[in-house]
Structure 1
Amino acid sequence: MAVTVFAARVRWNVRALGFNPLVRASDRLEALAVLGVLVVALFTVPVAARAEAQVYEAGVRTADEQAHSRHSIEAVAVDGSATLPADFEGSYYVRAQWREGTRLRTEQVVDPATIRAGDPLTIWLDDTGTVVAAPLTPQDAKLSALGAAGTVWVAIVACTALLAFLIRKRLDRTREHGWDRELRLLAHNDDGWANRHT
C-alpha cells in the first residue's frame, strides 16, 4: 500500500513538471521542491565523501600518534570484574596489578569483558605512565569516517526535505484558501442555480 502511494506521488510530481497548461503554478512549485531534494541528495554525496576523507586523515594521524605514545604491558587481575561502569558502554572495571621496574603497581582499569581474579590482561600506558585506552587503529578511523560521511549526508538531505515539506504545507494552505474563495463566490453568485429567483 505504501509503495503504491509513493509511486502515485512520484507520477504526480513528474506530471506536474510537464507542459500541461492545466497544472497549477503551486503544483509545479511543489514538484520543483521535491526535485530539489533529489538533486541535493545527489550533489551532497561528494560533500559527504570529502568529510569522510578529512575525518579519516585526522583519525589516521591520531592513531599514528597514539601508536608512538602508548605501549601495552601485561598485568594480572587482582579481583574479578562484576560491575558495569557508569557509562554502560559494555566494559567492566577490574583491579589490575603489574610490575613497574621494582615497584608493584595496582590500579583499577577497564576491561572489555568479564575476567576472574588471577587472569592475565593487557593494559595500555602513555609516556607518563597513566593508564589509557588502547590506541586507535586505521579500522577505527575508517569507521569514524564512514559515520561522519553518513551524518553529513543525512543532515543535509533531512534539512532539504524539511524545507520541501514546509513549502508543501504552505502551498496546501494557499490551495485551501483558493478553494474556499471559489466556493464562496459560487455560493453567493446570483447566476447559480441555488440562488436563482423565479
Structure 2
Amino acid sequence: MNRPDPRAEETQLEFYPLRLPRWPALLRLRRRDPLVRPADRIEAVVAALATVMVVIATPLAAAVGTEVHANHRLAYTEQSQDRHTVPATVVETPGTADNPRLNTTTVTVSWSLDGVQHTGTTRAPADVEPGDTVDIWVDDHGAQVPPPTPTIHAAYEAVGGALLILAGVATLAAIVVGVTRAVCDRIRSAGWQHDLDTLIGDGRGHPTNRP
C-alpha cells in the first residue's frame, strides 16, 4: 500500500483570495439606496478624486525634490571649487561700528590677483584700522563673491521643495472637498426640507389631504 509522501503535503500551496480595499466612499457610489442622494454620490466622488490626487502627488513631489537636490548640490560643489579666499588690505574704515550688536562695520578693501588690482567692501570687526588685512572670497577672476553655499543646504532645499508641493496639493484637495461638502450640505438640506414640507403639508401649516 502506497503511503502519501509527507514532504509533498508540506510543499502543497495554499491560495488565498486577494481583495482590493473597500473604501466606504466608493461603496456609497454603488449602492442603489434611495436614502443616498445624488449630492452624496457627488461628494463621495470628489473625496475619492482628492485622495487619488494627493497619492499621485506624493511620488511626483519626491521626484522634484530629488531633482532639486541633484542640481543644487552640483551648483554648490562648483562654487566650492571656483571660490577661494585671498587676503585684502583695509583701505578705509568708517571709525564706528554700524552693527553694535555684532561689533562689525563695513570697510573698503583692496586686493590683487594675478597682477590685477581690485577694490571692494566687506564686513570686518569694528576695531580694524587702515593697513590691516582681512580675508575675502573671490572667484577665479578675482571678482569678489559671497562664500560658497554648504552642500548640505541642497538636502534642506530638496526636502522643503517636496513638502511645499505636497502641502500645496493637499491644501487644494482639502479646499475642493470642503467647498463640495458645503454645497452638497445645502442641497441636502433643501431636499430634506422639501420632503418634510411634502410630508406634513404645503409648507404654510395646511396639512395635505389624504384619502
- TM bucket, shorter chain: 0.5 to 0.7
Letter in 1 for 2:177: A
Distance in structure 1 (CA, Å) of the matches to 2:85 and 2:105? 18
What residue in structure 2 maps to residue 95 of structure 1?
Answer: 107
What residue in structure 1 maps to residue 8 of structure 2?
Answer: none
Q: CA shift at 1:126, angstroms? A: 2.1
Distance in structure 2 (CA, Å) of the matches to 1:52 and 1:15? 32
* Conserved 8 A contact 1:97-1:104: no
TM-score computed with the length of structure 1 as normaliser: 0.66
Q: 2:152 aligns with which of 139, 143, 162?
A: 139
Letter in 2 for 1:27: D
What residue in structure 2 maps to residue 116 of structure 1?
Answer: 126
How large is the Cα RMSD of the aligned pairs?
Answer: 3.8
Pairs within 5 Å for 1:5-84: 14=24, 17-18=27-28, 19=31, 21=33, 22-75=35-88, 78=93, 81-83=97-99
State the percentage of identical aligned residues.
24
Q: CA shift at 1:60, angstroms? A: 1.7
Structure 2: which 5+ runs fail to align? 1-22
TM-score computed with the length of structure 2 as normaliser: 0.63
Structure 1: which 5+ runs fail to align? 1-12, 85-89
* Conserved 8 A contact 1:48-1:149: yes
Q: CA shift at 1:134, angstroms? A: 1.3
Q: CA shift at 1:74, angstroms? A: 4.1
- Flag the 1:36–1:27 CA change in 2: closer, same or farther, 3 A: same
* Conserved 8 A contact 1:109-1:131: no
Q: Would you tell me which structure has more helix in proportion to its own residues?
A: 1
Asked if residue 107 in structure 1 is aligned to residue 114 in structure 2, the reply is no
* Conserved 8 A contact 2:26-2:48: no
- Flag the 1:55–1:40 CA change in 2: closer, same or farther, 3 A: same
SS of residue in 2 equivalent to 1:124 = strand
- Flag the 1:15–1:158 CA change in 2: closer, same or farther, 3 A: closer
* Conserved 8 A contact 1:17-1:28: no
Distance in structure 1 (CA, Å) of the matches to 2:169 and 2:105? 40
Asked if residue 185 in structure 1 is aligned to residue 198 in structure 2, the reply is yes
Distance in structure 2 (CA, Å) of the matches to 1:162 and 1:76? 59
Number of equivalent positions: 174
Letter in 2 for 1:171: C
Q: CA shift at 1:96, angstroms? A: 5.3
Distance in structure 2 (CA, Å) of the matches to 1:20 and 1:40? 27
* Conserved 8 A contact 1:95-1:106: no
